[in-house]
Amino acid sequence: MENKQKQYWMHRISGDIRKPENKRIAGISYPLLKYKNYLSIGASDAIGEDFVKDFIENKNVVKFTQRYNEFSDRVYRVNNRIRAAWRGSLRNFLEMKKGDVVVIPMTYDNFTVYEIADDELLIPKELNIDGLVDWFSAADKAVDFNEEEALLKYRNENVVDLGFFRKVKPIIEVWDREGGGKLMANRKKFATATLQRIMSLRPTNLKITGSADDVEESIKAFEYGNPISIHETLLKEQGTCLLEILREKLTPDKLESLIEKYLSKIGASVVVVNNPKNEKNEKGEEHGDIDVSAIFELLQIYIHVQAKNHTGEMDERAVRQISDFIEDKRSSGDEGWHHIPWVISTADGFSDECVKKAEENNVRLINGIDLARMLLEVGFSDLDI
C-alpha cells in the first residue's frame, strides 16, 4: 500500500555535466532550481527505460533493483558499490511525491528547503527553459534542448547530464533578492546539529523523515530570524537582558562615555566626547553636531556618533544633525580621510522617515539591541562607567 504520509528528504543538485571527458560542474541544476523551480537529478541514460515508469506505478523495489542492475550492467559497467549508490539515489528521487519536503545543501555552507509541488516526473523535453543560462549568467552559456540526444545542453558545448525533474516550490525564501546566486540560510546558524550532520553526508539523496523535527525547527529558525548556533543564541538572549540594564542605568552622559570606551576598545587611537550641544545659526536653526568622534589613524577613518538615550521609536532628527555635520567635514578638505556617521540609540528602532534619511546619507543606524550585541562581542573589561 502506498505511503501517503509526508516524507522528508535531503537531496544534492551539484554535478550535472559529464560529457565530454566526464567533466561535472554545477552549471544548470542551480539556476533550474532558483529561476524555474525544478529539482533535478542525473541518470539521463535512464530516460525512456521501462523500469522507471514501472516503479512509479507499482513501487516494486525488488523488481526495480533487478531491472536497474541489468540496465547498469548494459550502460555503465561500474562496480557493485557505485551501482547500488546510483540505484538508491534514483529510486529515492522517483519516490518523492507532492507535499514532501526536500532539504538541499548548497555552496558555501548554505542550504535551502523546498516542497514537491506535484507528482509528475518530468524529463528534459518537458521543461520550460526559456531564458535559462548557466549559474554564472554568461551570455555564451545559454541552455538549449538538444533534439538529437533529447537532453539539455549548453549552446555549442557539453550535454547536460540531468535526466529527471520534479516541480517544486520554496518553503523558505533564501535567495538573495539582488540575485547572483547568493544564499542567506547558513547551515551553522539555522540548521540543527542533526541536520548539519545529515547535509555533510556524501550520498546524492537520503530519506530523512526520522529527522523531520530537525527540519521543521531549522525552517522556523530561519523564518523568524532566530539562529540556532550557541553564539548567536547567547548574543540574542543576553542582548535583551543587557539592553534592559542599559536603559535603567545609563544617563545621556554615561551613554556617551560607554560609546567612547567601546570605540577605544575596537582600536580607535583617539576618542573625543563633544560637549557643546544644539548650537544655532543666525536663523535659529540647529547646526549639525555629534556627541562622540573616534580616529582610526592607520585606516584614515573618522567615526562620528550621535548618541540618543531613548526608548520606543526614534525619529530622523539625529540623522539630520549628523548628516549636516558630515557634510561640513567633507567640505573642509581632510584629503584622504573618510568620515563615517553612526547614530546609536537605546531605542527599539527607527521611524520609516529616519531609515529613509539614513539610507540617503549613508548613516549607520544602531538600535538598542544592536548596541547590546556590539558590547557583548567585545566584552566588558575596561568598559566600566
Per-residue model confidence (pLDDT) at position 158: 67
User: How many alpha carbons lie under 13 Å from residue 300 in its C-beta half-sphere?
Assistant: 5
Q: In the structure, what pLDDT confidence band is assigned to residue 318 with cuts at 50, 70 and 90?
A: very high
User: 205-207 and 8-11: which strand pairing?
Assistant: antiparallel
Q: Which pLDDT score, from 0 to 100, does residue 10 have?
A: 98
Nearest Cα to 221, choosing from 197, 193, 177, 185? 185
pLDDT of residue 12 exceeding 70: yes
Q: Which of 24-28, 211-215, 355-359 has the lowest mean pLDDT?
A: 24-28
The pLDDT assigned to 18 comes to 44
d(CA 302, CA 296): 6
pLDDT of residue 233: 76
Q: The C-alpha cell of 86 is what?
A: 546510483
Q: Out of 27-41, 233-247, 280-294, which region has the weakest mean confidence (pLDDT)?
A: 280-294
Q: Is the pLDDT of residue 285 over 60?
A: no
Higher pLDDT among residues 134 and 300, named by residue: 300
What is the percent of the chain where pLDDT is above 90? Answer: 56
Banded pLDDT at 282 (limits 50, 70, 90): very low
Which stretch of DSSP H or E encloses residue 321? helix 317-330
- Tens digits of per-residue pLDDT, 47-59? 999 999 999 999 9
Q: What is the mean pLDDT of residues 93-107?
A: 94
Give the DSSP per-residue string, 18-52: -TTTT----SSHHHHHHHH-EEEE--GGGTT-HHH
Measured at the CA of 244, the angle between CA 242 and CA 275, to 5 degrees, comes to 85
Tabulate helix, strand, coil % of the chain (nearest 5): 40, 20, 40
Range 119-135 average pLDDT = 87
Closest by CA to 104, choosing from 52, 43, 38, is 38
Residue 323 has pLDDT above 80, yes or no: yes
Q: What is the mean predicted confidence (pLDDT) over 3-7?
A: 81
Taking residues 259-280, what's their average pLDDT? 81
Question: Could you tell me if 36 and 128 are in contact, meaning their C-beta atoms sit under 8 angstroms apart?
Answer: yes
Give the pLDDT score at 123: 94
- When pLDDT is averaged across residues 154-183 and rounded to a whole number, the result is 72
Query: Which is higher by pLDDT, 180 or 264?
Result: 264
Q: Tell me, what's the pLDDT at 367? A: 94
Residue 184: pLDDT band (50, 70, 90) is low
- How far apart are the C-alpha atoms of 219 and 227, rounded to whole Å? 11
Q: What is the mean pLDDT of residues 266-290?
A: 68
Cis peptide bond N-terminal to 20, omega within 30? yes
pLDDT value of position 383:
73
Alpha-carbon distance values, 173 to 69, 99, 182, 192 (Å): 39, 17, 12, 18
- According to the model, what pLDDT value does residue 202 have? 87
How confident is the model over 54-76, as pLDDT tens digits? 999 999 999 999 999 999 999 98
State how far the Cα of 288 lies from the Cα of 324, in Å rounded to an integer. 5
pLDDT of residue 118: 95
pLDDT over threshold 80, residue 351: yes
Task: Answer yes or no: is pLDDT of 117 > 70.
Answer: yes
pLDDT at 289 (0 to 100): 79
User: Model's pTM, two decimal places?
Assistant: 0.60
Which domains can be identified in the chain, with CATH numbers? 8-223 (no CATH), 230-378 (3.40.91.50)
Q: Is the pLDDT of residue 23 over 80?
A: no
